[in-house]
Structure 1
Amino acid sequence: MNIHEYQAKSLLKEYGIPVPRGGVAYTPLEAEVLARELGGPVWVVKAQIHAGGRGKAAGVKVVHSIDAAKAAAMEMLGTKLVTDQTGPAGKRVRRVYIEEGFDVARELYLSVLVDRKTCRVTILAAPEGGVRIEDMARAASGSVIRTAVDSDVGLARDQAERLAADLGLEGSQAEAAVHVITGVYDAFVRLDASLIEINPLAVTRNGDIVALDARMSFDDHALFRHRELEELRDADEADPSELEAARHEINYVGLDGNIGCLVSGAGLALATLDILRLHGGRPANFMDVRPVATRQQVANGFKMMLASGDLKAILVNVFGGGIMRCDLIAEALVAGAREVSLRVPLVVRFAGTNADIGRKLIQNSGLAAVFTDDMGDAAEAVVQAAKKEAA
């Protein structure tokens, strides 16, 4: 789950990280009132969307009067902001953040994430931040400092001190940076975050260290421990299909292909996407049906896939084991197809518990399907079916 910048800053502030004073406005008039309350002489008006690259797309403006703050808000609100991360469709701006401006001497970069290669929480830092951080990281990987943290020990003070020194900070600035680095790491761990990014982490002319921008994402599977974070979700920013899937307790991620995937288990689901790509197919989604999913939940997931206008074929790849049974999936498919007309080819690969029963249930229902026992054969069959439908 992603949250807005202003929400991320509010959370970081709770961990003692200095952030600019600011407020959220939904109308130009609210922006004017906020600017007046904050006082000048410099304000920053920021479009609030779940995407980076706002600065390059005129989604961040520095203004020097209250009228200019109101005008900038009026220009942004209601428009679609297109950045490198939104894609050509862009995202509609429904709120802006008005905050006090700072006289910045240096821009640094700081983030905390999970390194999938080392399976450790890793801190990334760079002595130069701002809008060009991605370009600089690609051009000179040595400019990005990586510090892996042992989860059994936590972030040691000497690690934070080395990071501050590598960023070129000394004295009180280095001590302030240690405080920020430690606070960000603590927030990451305690909130079950998957990413916290501060770009830029600014050094002001007065020598202060301030988080001028903040981005946070959380592990969806840990949100049951953080109901207060769930309340920060902006439904307008989320993929409607993913919200619908979450409502039915199905793990779902929409992709840009045309082959729908209904799979039991996250590992098998990832392998299914890989084998489809290997055979030249384009998956339309990642869908992991939980072992304890009910017939109705599976049926709802199946109907949700069928609602996609780009769908050309569906692959059901289920390994029955333990609680999960192939016949339960078969019953759900039949129920879903009765409510929503199945208009694309269906390829089914059942293996494990009650696989034969599941196949017979589908055959006896009259639901048209191609059956295969081999995962590779299933992938090849559904890719060819999708190509035929698209022709």
Structure 2
Amino acid sequence: MHLHEYQAKELFTRYDIPIPRGRLVRHADEVDQAAKSIGGNAWVVKAQIHAGGRGKSGGVKRVEGLEALRKVVTSLLGSHLVTPQTGSVGLPVSAVLIEALTDIHQELYLSLLMDRSRKRIAVMASNAGGMDIEAVALKNPDLLLTTHVHPAGGLQAWQGRRLGFKLGLSADQSRQFSNLLIRLYQLFIDTDAVMIEINPLIVTAQGKLLALDAKLNLDDNALYRQQELAAWDDTTQIDKAEVIARGHGLNYIRLDGDIGCMVNGAGLAMATMDLIKLSGGRPANFLDVGGAATASRVAEAFKLILSDSHIRALLVNIFGGIVRCDLIAEGVVQAIREVSVNVPVVVRLEGTNAELGREILKKSGLNVLPATDLAEASKLAVSAAEGHA
């Protein structure tokens, strides 16, 4: 689960991590009061969306004067901001963060994230703050410093000081960096985060460290014990179909292809999409109905996939281990009868009660294309999609 910048900074404040003075604005008539509260005659306006690249796309603007501030905030609120990470439609801007200008002496990069290969939290830092960190890692990997946290001992102050000195900070700034990093680590642990990023973390002209930006992603599997933060979820930043899928316990991600996929198991779903691509087609979605699929859940999954107007064929690929293939077949029949299906449906069933499932589909009288293995199923789906173009 992603948090907005203003939400991440609220958590930073709770952990005494320094941030610029700022106010969140959701309506244009709140601008004057926000400007008065922050002070000064120049500000930075930041659109609040769940995507990076805002600055390059007009979502972060420096303005001078109250009239200019009103104009910029009004233009952003209610708009859709398109960045390299949003796709062509963009994401809706329902709030902006107005912050005081800061006197920047140096820009740093700092992040904490899960290193699953090492089974430890990794701390990454660089003096190339404010830049695309992926490009830095590719072109100048020596600028990216990494240290890992032992799960038993936790982050140690000396690790922060060592990173600070490697970044070229003074002794006092290295101590600030170490203290900030320890607080950030505690925030990471307390919120069940999977990633916290500050880019840039700046050194002001007065030698103080300040988190100019903030990104924080939470572990979805731990949200049951993060009730307050779970309530912060902004579903306007998520595809409506994905929101509906959550309500039915389905794992769904919309893609840009035209062959719908309904599979049980994330690994099998990825393999199915790979084989569709290998066969010359384009998957329209990732959808894992899970191991505890029921006929009604399968029907809902079917409807969800077909809500995409770009679908030209649908591939159902089920391996019956925990889930029974006859239940899947009943769900497919139920969905086809409930929804106006005007695209070819390819079904591959294997495993528990697979024969019974195939028999249910055969007796249904519906126009379903059977497949005996995944390779055949993917080729049938691609051919069907081409014929339905």
Q: Following TM superposition, by how much is the alpha carbon of 1:46 offset from its aligned partner in structure 2, in angstroms?
A: 0.9
Q: Following TM superposition, by how much is the alpha carbon of 1:2 offset from its aligned partner in structure 2, in angstroms?
A: 1.5
3-state SS, counterpart of residue 330 of structure 1: helix
Q: Following TM superposition, by how much is the alpha carbon of 1:247 offset from its aligned partner in structure 2, in angstroms?
A: 0.8
Q: Which residue of 2 aligns with 1:331?
A: 330
3-state SS, counterpart of residue 336 of structure 2: helix
3-state SS, counterpart of residue 318 of structure 1: strand
Q: Which residue of 2 aligns with 1:159?
A: 159
- Describe how 1:48-67 pairs up with structure 2 within 5 A: 48-67=48-67
Q: Which residue of 1 aligns with 2:316?
A: 316
- The code of the aligned residue for 2:30 comes to E
Q: Which residue of 1 aligns with 2:358?
A: 359
- The code of the aligned residue for 1:310 comes to H
- Count residues in correspondence: 389
- The code of the aligned residue for 1:63 comes to V
Give, in whole Å, the separation in 2 of the partners of 1:159 and 1:294.
Answer: 50
Q: Which residue of 2 aligns with 1:177?
A: 177
Q: Following TM superposition, by how much is the alpha carbon of 1:260 offset from its aligned partner in structure 2, in angstroms?
A: 1.0
Q: Following TM superposition, by how much is the alpha carbon of 1:171 offset from its aligned partner in structure 2, in angstroms?
A: 1.5
Which consecutive unaligned segments of at least 5 residues does structure 2 have?
Answer: none
Give, in whole Å, the separation in 1 of the partners of 2:56 and 2:185.
Answer: 28
Which string of whole-angstrom CA distances, capped at 9 and with x for unpartnered residues, describes residues 182-213 of structure 1?
A: 22233223322232211111111111111111
Q: Which residue of 2 aligns with 1:373?
A: 372
Q: Which residue of 2 aligns with 1:115?
A: 115
Query: Percent identity of the aligned residues?
Result: 46
Q: Following TM superposition, by how much is the alpha carbon of 1:41 offset from its aligned partner in structure 2, in angstroms?
A: 4.4
- The code of the aligned residue for 1:362 comes to L
Q: Following TM superposition, by how much is the alpha carbon of 1:305 offset from its aligned partner in structure 2, in angstroms?
A: 0.5
Q: Following TM superposition, by how much is the alpha carbon of 1:279 offset from its aligned partner in structure 2, in angstroms?
A: 2.2
Which string of whole-angstrom CA distances, capped at 9 and with x for unpartnered residues, describes residues 267-299 of structure 1?
A: 221222222222222111111112223322221
The worse-fitting range, judged by mean Cα deviation, of 162-171 and 2-11 is 162-171
Residues 159 and 178 in structure 2, CA contact (< 8 A), matched pair in contact too: no
Report the CA distance shift for 1:361/1:153 in structure 2 as closer, same or farther (over 3 A).
Answer: farther
- Describe how 1:248-267 pairs up with structure 2 within 5 A: 248-267=248-267
Report the CA distance shift for 1:315/1:120 in structure 2 as closer, same or farther (over 3 A).
Answer: farther
Q: Following TM superposition, by how much is the alpha carbon of 1:237 offset from its aligned partner in structure 2, in angstroms?
A: 1.0
Give, in whole Å, the separation in 2 of the partners of 1:93 and 1:56.
Answer: 16
Q: Following TM superposition, by how much is the alpha carbon of 1:131 offset from its aligned partner in structure 2, in angstroms?
A: 4.2
CA-based RMSD: 1.8
Q: Following TM superposition, by how much is the alpha carbon of 1:173 offset from its aligned partner in structure 2, in angstroms?
A: 0.9
Residues 53 and 131 in structure 1, CA contact (< 8 A), matched pair in contact too: no
Residues 293 and 328 in structure 2, CA contact (< 8 A), matched pair in contact too: no
3-state SS, counterpart of residue 10 of structure 1: helix
Report the CA distance shift for 1:96/1:145 in structure 2 as closer, same or farther (over 3 A).
Answer: same
Q: Which residue of 1 aligns with 2:384?
A: 385
Report the CA distance shift for 1:119/1:285 in structure 2 as closer, same or farther (over 3 A).
Answer: farther
Residues 315 and 381 in structure 2, CA contact (< 8 A), matched pair in contact too: yes
Q: Which residue of 1 aligns with 2:126?
A: 126
Give, in whole Å, the separation in 1 of the partners of 2:117 and 2:373.
Answer: 30
1:34 and 2:34 are equivalent in the alignment: yes
Q: Which residue of 2 aligns with 1:278?
A: 278
Residues 32 and 67 in structure 1, CA contact (< 8 A), matched pair in contact too: no
- Describe how 1:221-232 pairs up with structure 2 within 5 A: 221-232=221-232
The worse-fitting range, judged by mean Cα deviation, of 222-231 and 148-157 is 148-157
1:195 and 2:195 are equivalent in the alignment: yes
Residues 312 and 386 in structure 1, CA contact (< 8 A), matched pair in contact too: yes
Give, in whole Å, the separation in 2 of the partners of 1:267 and 1:44.
Answer: 44
Give, in whole Å, the separation in 2 of the partners of 1:275 and 1:161.
Answer: 49
Report the CA distance shift for 1:380/1:243 in structure 2 as closer, same or farther (over 3 A).
Answer: same
Q: Which residue of 2 aligns with 1:349?
A: 348
3-state SS, counterpart of residue 175 of structure 1: helix
Report the CA distance shift for 1:352/1:115 in structure 2 as closer, same or farther (over 3 A).
Answer: same
Give, in whole Å, the separation in 1 of the partners of 2:346 and 2:120.
Answer: 39
1:149 and 2:149 are equivalent in the alignment: yes
The worse-fitting range, judged by mean Cα deviation, of 43-52 and 79-88 is 79-88
3-state SS, counterpart of residue 30 of structure 1: helix
Report the CA distance shift for 1:113/1:275 in structure 2 as closer, same or farther (over 3 A).
Answer: farther
Q: Following TM superposition, by how much is the alpha carbon of 1:132 offset from its aligned partner in structure 2, in angstroms?
A: 4.3
1:70 and 2:70 are equivalent in the alignment: yes
Give, in whole Å, the separation in 1 of the partners of 2:328 and 2:288.
Answer: 12
Give, in whole Å, the separation in 1 of the partners of 2:152 and 2:39.
Answer: 46
Residues 302 and 332 in structure 2, CA contact (< 8 A), matched pair in contact too: yes
Give, in whole Å, the separation in 2 of the partners of 1:151 and 1:259.
Answer: 44
Give, in whole Å, the separation in 2 of the partners of 1:159 and 1:375.
Answer: 50
Residues 158 and 178 in structure 2, CA contact (< 8 A), matched pair in contact too: no
Residues 36 and 66 in structure 1, CA contact (< 8 A), matched pair in contact too: no
Which string of whole-angstrom CA distances, capped at 9 and with x for unpartnered residues, describes residues 300-343 of structure 1?
A: 11111111111111111111113x11111111111111111221
TM-score, length-scaled by structure 2: 0.94
- The code of the aligned residue for 1:281 comes to G
Q: Following TM superposition, by how much is the alpha carbon of 1:8 offset from its aligned partner in structure 2, in angstroms?
A: 1.0
Give, in whole Å, the separation in 2 of the partners of 1:231 and 1:388.
Answer: 46
The worse-fitting range, judged by mean Cα deviation, of 281-290 and 151-160 is 151-160
- Describe how 1:236-251 pairs up with structure 2 within 5 A: 236-251=236-251
Which string of whole-angstrom CA distances, capped at 9 and with x for unpartnered residues, describes residues 112-143 of structure 1?
A: 22335545432222102114444333321222
